[in-house]
């Protein structure tokens, strides 16, 4: 058989050493932010039913969890509060109450781990009796009336010493409003990682289970983006950049890899992607049933998000990935 091939791509795949040498995309713990769920009280570690391996932590045990993760090489954490229904109201007033357990815990975390990067979320839904990201009046989510509440929330969180604020509410103008509030109060070094392209997705349900934050009526389609829309993400990115965002985020990640790539190719800002709860739980459920190799699927998903252009990945797999990377 006379076969004349000058180019044989398989030559660059013939050994583990060569494959590693030409590898184009890599995931490192430095790329990851680990979301954590905080509850009031002490000695609380309660697994989220729909998110195997993910827990709600009281502050005392969360400090230990953060220390464990830091030892594994994870240095960035996004901390969400699970708020009792009895403490929620229409104006989310607990979100800026300096004596609230969440804000007190943030101060302690930064005191114990000043070298860690701590991110927080800006939206009303964890604190709102209506369960929506904005202020509700007569069944409507009011954009401009929400901004002042978000500003108070952002300032209260910045005062705890955290590093990055993540406005996830999708209200128009919120990045600029928050940036102005922060700068006027002297918090010019606090970063904003805007949830720029946050879609009205079916993949959020386990997260809402973790925080008991599902909307009490309707849905979030008047403020979160239509999954059918692509170029609209460029509009949101342009606005957030002009208003002072430091990072642009796409949420969810796996069903929106094209949007990650789109923003990466059209922005000079770092691009983040949120590998959301539903994406995590799907892999965990399939692995539990023996339908796929959970560890390989996890690594492949994170790699695909990086390959699409994400500089930063928020993922519930962060600790597991770090543990496997040490083996």
Active site residue 284: no
Catalytic residue among 198, 220, 264, 284: 198
Distance CA 51, CA 55 (A): 8
- Is beta strand 55-58 parallel, antiparallel or unpaired with respect to 45-47? antiparallel
Catalytic residue among 94, 220, 251, 264: 251
Distance CA 200, CA 240 (A): 19
Active site residue 140: no
Sign of CA dihedral 148, 154, 158, 160: positive
Query: What residues are labeled active site?
Result: 198, 251
């Amino acid at each position: 058989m006379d076969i004349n091939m000058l180019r044989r791509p398989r030559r660059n795949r013939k050994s583990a050493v060569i494959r590693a040498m030409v590898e184009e995309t890599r995931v490192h713990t430095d790329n990851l932010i680990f979301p954590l769920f905080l509850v009031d009280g002490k000695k609380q570690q309660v697994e989220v039913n729909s998110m195997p391996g993910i827990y709600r932590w009281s502050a005392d045990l969360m400090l230990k969890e953060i220390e464990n993760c830091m030892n594994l090489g994870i240095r960035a954490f996004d901390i969400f509060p699970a708020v009792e229904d009895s403490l929620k109201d229409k104006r989310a007033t607990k979100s800026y109450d300096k004596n609230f357990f969440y804000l007190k815990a943030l101060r302690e975390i930064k005191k114990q781990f000043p070298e860690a990067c701590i991110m927080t979320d800006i939206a009303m839904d964890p604190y709102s009796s209506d369960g929506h990201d904005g202020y509700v009046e007569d069944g409507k989510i009011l954009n401009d009336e929400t901004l002042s509440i978000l500003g108070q929330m952002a300032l209260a969180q910045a005062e705890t010493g955290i590093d990055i604020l993540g406005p996830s509410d999708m209200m128009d103008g919120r990045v600029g409003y928050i940036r102005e509030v922060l700068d006027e109060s002297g918090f010019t070094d606090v970063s904003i990682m805007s949830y720029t392209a946050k879609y009205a997705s079916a993949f959020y349900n386990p997260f809402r289970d973790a925080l008991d934050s599902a909307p009490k009526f309707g849905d979030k389609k008047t403020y979160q983006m239509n999954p059918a829309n692509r170029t609209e993400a460029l509009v949101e990115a342009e606005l957030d950049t002009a208003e002072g965002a430091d990072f642009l985020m796409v949420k969810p990640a796996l069903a929106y890899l094209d949007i990650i790539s789109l923003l990466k190719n059209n922005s000079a800002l770092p691009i983040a992607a949120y590998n959301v709860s539903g994406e995590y739980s799907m892999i965990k459920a399939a692995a539990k049933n023996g339908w796929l190799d959970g560890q390989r699927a996890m690594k492949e998903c994170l790699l695909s998000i990086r390959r699409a252009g994400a500089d930063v990945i928020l993922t519930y797999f962060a600790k597991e990935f770090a543990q496997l990377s040490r083996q």
